[in-house]
Amino acid sequence: MVPLLPETAPFSEDQRSWLNGFFAGLLGADIGAAAATSMAPTTDAPAADVEEDDEDHPWHDAAMPMDERMALAEGRPLKSKMMAAMAQLDCGACGYVCQSYSSAIASGEEKNLTLCQPGGKDTAKKLKELIKTADITVEGKLPATPGDENAVNTGVFDRKNPFPAPLLAATRLNAAGSAKDTRYVSVDIMHSGLSYKAGDALGVYPENCFALVNDILSLLHASGGEIAMYRNQLIRELDIIKPTDELLELMQVNAVDQADKDKITRLLEEEAVEGLPAEPQIIDLLLFFENIKLKVKDFIGTLLPMSPRLYSISSSPKAYPDEVHLTVGVVEYEMAGRKRKGVASTYLGQRVHQHQPVRVFIQPSHGFAPPSDTNKPMIMVGPGTGIAPFRAFLQDRKADGAVGKNWLFFGDQHEATDFLYRDELEQYVADGILSKLTTAFSRDGDEKVYVQHRMLQHAAELWAWLNDGGHFYVCGDAKRMAKDVDNALHQIIAQQGQMSDEDARAYVKQMSANGRYQRDVY
Ligand SMILES: Cc1cc2nc3c(=O)[nH]c(=O)nc-3n(C[C@H](O)[C@H](O)[C@H](O)COP(=O)(O)OP(=O)(O)OC[C@H]3O[C@@H](n4cnc5c(N)ncnc54)[C@H](O)[C@@H]3O)c2cc1C
């Protein structure tokens, strides 16, 4: 990238990078807006799936392997096959549930095939195959960027038209010395017309890291005019992490060296290439294939729109009608010798400043809410950021004057540094709102103790709460924690209820059917 600040200006590298970008952005504001009009919503989306919807979804079981799910969807309409390719968690990470995401792709309304986070590469690959065999295209103009002045303002704020909510706070919840960076984030939704309830999630359109955008423009040898034209778009509107096949194909066309072309063929076939991480990001490709020259405009044309991220809301509107609170775990890791940052979590936790607008929308939950009967007991298992919705539930129960008992299982690494919202929770205990607070700090003792171990230690009491009509909630990590907690729940029911494993499974199934077992896992 061509720097706009003189080399002699007295700034650190980070400050220089930020300021260069800032000035480039300012210079490019007008041109950028003009460029964005070419990205107006397309009205000629392919009507790929005109067949009638089928109503039963026998593959809608997260425990079923992909092959079995696809076999069950055989002979069904395209959108059903696409739904079977999803992870079946209805987690909302894509901004839809499995059924509505597949319908949106099949109708051509949604272009991004990589939004199913728990399904990962397997789902994206299967979707691509289905698109190919159905002989339709999901190419086309990108939709107008949500929150952009060019997006149609319907007056109602939603996923397509997010509200620019001023940031109120992004405070670190972990004490000094913690290995973690978990933030309490709050935004102002006054005058937005947005309403929410405990259990809903907030969708956030993040902005990319300025330094990464600058690095990419620099590797593309962007001219001053190109920087001015595209920098804002790269920051706000586009996914600059995940390479698309279109980017790989563009690089292949522009590669001069046959060895590079062959390597890209391997990448397109999802094979490993020595010297690249297993799942290379765009920056890795640009660094690795530094001899391949790409036009900035062509490069931009291969990128997908920025996807929103969801966060379980940590406040109740009954306590904070004009604010939404979140509990955000900042994602940072190293890969192939380079520090990587989760786009949205570092944006919310570290990059956005107080009073700056954050583009948000409400993603209503599908039944994940405190019991409608306020007399019913509530058991909540929420380690780490999994505590997020339960802070909202407790505020809700307090505001309602609910008499039902509340039990929270919380866990994290160290009690001294990672006991999120400790003061609030202990106050709830003192006030009698929280009948029981059971903690598991995994790295404080010789043996690692997790929330599921604590559940097993309290098996008899937990069983009594369930028998009393208790609702059981889990929030947080889907990969391990939610499975371990689910196993512990089955074990407790079988042992304490003196049931066979099969009867315990039926008992849990019935709890789910009655809305008494709810999970918000991601
Ligand atoms: C319904 C729902 C509710 C949620 N609620 C919350 C919440 O309350 N709080 C919260 O913090 N999050 C929550 N999430 C998760 C959140 O939406 C984001 O997925 C999360 O913050 C990461 O987003 P990001 O943009 O920072 O990271 P991204 O830019 O999306 O990067 C994440 C990706 O980085 C990669 N990655 C991460 N760590 C590593 C590693 N060590 N090595 C290699 N690769 C790695 C993985 O591919 C991962 O998918 C929720 C998700 C859902 C679906």
pLDDT tens profile 310-367:
999 999 999 999 999 999 999 999 999 999 999 999 999 999 999 999 999 999 998 9
Q: For residue 339, report the distance from its CA to the centre of ligand 1, in Å.
A: 16
Looking at residue 136, its pLDDT comes to 57
pLDDT of residue 321: 96
For position 55, what pLDDT does the model report? 67
Confidence band (pLDDT; 50, 70, 90) for 137? low
pLDDT band at 64 (very low <50, low <70, confident <90, very high): confident
Matching fold, domains 163-206+308-363 and 209-301: no
Mean pLDDT across the chain, nearest whole number? 88
Q: How confident is the model at residue 132 (pLDDT cuts 50, 70, 90)?
A: confident
Q: Look at strands 378-381 and 357-363 and give their pairing.
A: unpaired
Q: What's the pLDDT score for residue 147?
A: 55
Q: Strands, DSSP E only, in 388-509?
A: 406-412, 436-441, 471-476
Q: Is 328 in the pocket of ligand 1 (CB under 6 A)?
A: yes
Cα(458)–Cα(463) distance, integer angstroms? 9
Once rounded to an integer, what is the mean pLDDT over residues 271-278? 96
pLDDT value, residue 50:
34
Predicted confidence band at 85 (pLDDT cuts at 50, 70, 90)? Answer: very high
Whether the Cβ atoms of residue 439 and residue 451 lie closer than 8 Å to each other: no
pLDDT, average across residues 449-455: 98
Reply yes or no on whether the pLDDT at 6 is more than 70: no
**Is pLDDT of 42 > 70?**
no
Q: What pLDDT sits at residue 145?
A: 52
Closest to 388 in 3D by CA, of 475, 303, 468, 455: 475
- CATH class of domain segment(s) 378-521: alpha beta
Q: What's the 341 CA to ligand 1 centre distance in angstroms?
A: 10
Joined tokens for residue 5? 């600040």
Q: How confident is the model at residue 399 (pLDDT cuts 50, 70, 90)?
A: very high
Q: Which helix (H) or strand (E) holds 258?
A: helix 258-268
More confident residue, 266 or 144: 266
Q: Is 23's pLDDT higher than 90?
A: no
ipTM above 0.85, yes or no: yes
pLDDT at position 25 over 80: no
In tens, the pLDDT along 203-228 reads 999 999 999 999 999 999 999 999 99
**Residues contacting 199, CB < 8 A, separation 6+:** 313, 365, 368, 369, 370, 389, 392, 393, 520
Q: Which two tokens stand for residue 470?
A: 């208790």
Q: Does any ligand 1 atom lie closer than 6 A to the CB of residue 80?
A: no
Residue nearest to atom 4 of ligand 1 (CA): 311
CA 259 – CA 261 distance, rounded (Å): 5
Cα gap 376→370, rounded to integer Å? 9
**Taking 60 as the threshold, does the pLDDT of residue 249 lie above it?**
yes
Out of 3.30.420.610, 2.40.30.10, 3.20.20.70, 3.30.1330.10, select the CATH number for domain 163-206+308-363: 2.40.30.10
pLDDT tens sequence across 162-171: 999 999 999 9
Confidence of residue 46 (pLDDT cuts 50, 70, 90): very low
**3-state SS of the chain: helix, strand, coil percent to 5?**
40, 15, 45
Check if 522 has its Cβ closer than 6 Å to any atom of ligand 1: yes
pLDDT at 40: 28
Query: Is any ligand 1 atom within 6 A of the Cβ of residue 192?
Result: no
pLDDT of residue 146: 59
Give residue limits of the domains in the chain. Answer: 41-140, 163-206+308-363, 209-301, 378-521
Q: Domain 209-301 has what CATH class?
A: mainly alpha
> Which residue among 122, 182, 186, 331 has the greatest number of ligand 1 atoms within 8 angstroms of its CB, and so is best to mutate?
331
Residue 475 has pLDDT above 70, yes or no: yes
Contacts (Cβ under 8 Å, ≥6 apart) of 478? 89, 91, 118, 521, 522
Provide, rounded to the nearest whole percent, the portion of the chain with pLDDT above 90. Answer: 73
